[in-house]
A and B are shown apart, each in its own frame.
Chain A
Amino acid sequence: DTGVSQDPRHKITKRGQNVTFRCDPISEHNRLYWYRQTLGQGPEFLTYFQNEAQLEKSRLLSDRFSAERPKGSFSTLEIQRTEQGDSAMYLCASSDGPFAKDEQYFGPGTRLTVT
């Protein structure tokens, strides 16, 4: 068990470009979450997957954002036509178990800078 991994760790992009981030959860964790964190703030929930099904999306997830979790394993988060306001740390977390006693294990995050 190597923990939750995210790739890349850092991404610098120009405004208007598309970016894609990957999250590899702890194996066999059926729940996967994406959060966004801006400087000085706590993480904000973006979206939730149970296995391959995307069951909840935050209002923060505009139509420029899309997330997938094919086959219930790794997940990708894509941002199209990036804006400077998208600059943030994007965190992925996973958990297991049918009940939400389950602690979430967070990855190290992908820091996005939009110039």
Chain B
Amino acid sequence: DAKTTQPPSMDCAEGRAANLPCNHSTISGNEYVYWYRQIHSQGPQYIIHGLKNNETNEMASLIITEDRKSSTLILPHATLRDTAVYYCIVRVAGSSNTGKLIFGQGTTLQVKP
């Protein structure tokens, strides 16, 4: 699975959009980009994933560059409850894979009032 690079920390004002970047320059054509987050003292929580196209769900939007070498997770209106560590993970998706997640250090997002 390809490696990812994320900034160690970011701040965001409550109510504003939080844009979390991730570099995955060695991503392969069959690798998906996943985002999970971990709120303090809880297990990680799935947010969103994508292959090539931009994706949106009730939690966030995922923007993947055309060359797929980087992506941005967007929380449109950050709240204090979005304060967490955000992990960008690249992995192959297929029936022959175990589906294990390889976590990096992630980005600690601090949402401030």
Contact = CB atoms under 8 A, between A and B. Distances in A.
| Pairing of A with B | yes
Interface of A: 4, 31, 33, 35, 41-45, 48, 50, 55-56, 91, 93, 95, 98-109
The number of chain B residues touching the other chain, given as a range, is 20 to 34
4 closest A-B pairs by CB: A106-B43, A42-B103, A100-B99, A103-B46
B105 A41 contact: yes
B93 A43 contact: no
Given A4-B43, A43-B101, A106-B44, A98 B95 contact: yes
A44 B34 CA distance: 16
B104 A104 contact: no
Interface of B: 32, 34, 42-46, 49, 85, 87, 91-95, 97-106
B59 to A, nearest CB: 12
A100 B87 CA distance: 17
Nearest to A4: B43
Contacts of A95: 99
Contacts, number: 68
A28 to B, nearest CB: 16
Contacts of B43: 4, 91, 93, 106-109
B104 A101 contact: no
A108 B42 contact: yes
A31 B32 CA distance: 19
A1 to B, nearest CB: 15
B94 A99 contact: yes
A71 B82 CA distance: 38
Contacts of A102: 99
B46 to A, nearest CB: 4
A45 B85 CA distance: 18
Which of the listed residues B49, B98, B105 has the most CB atoms from chain A within 10 Å of its own CB? B98
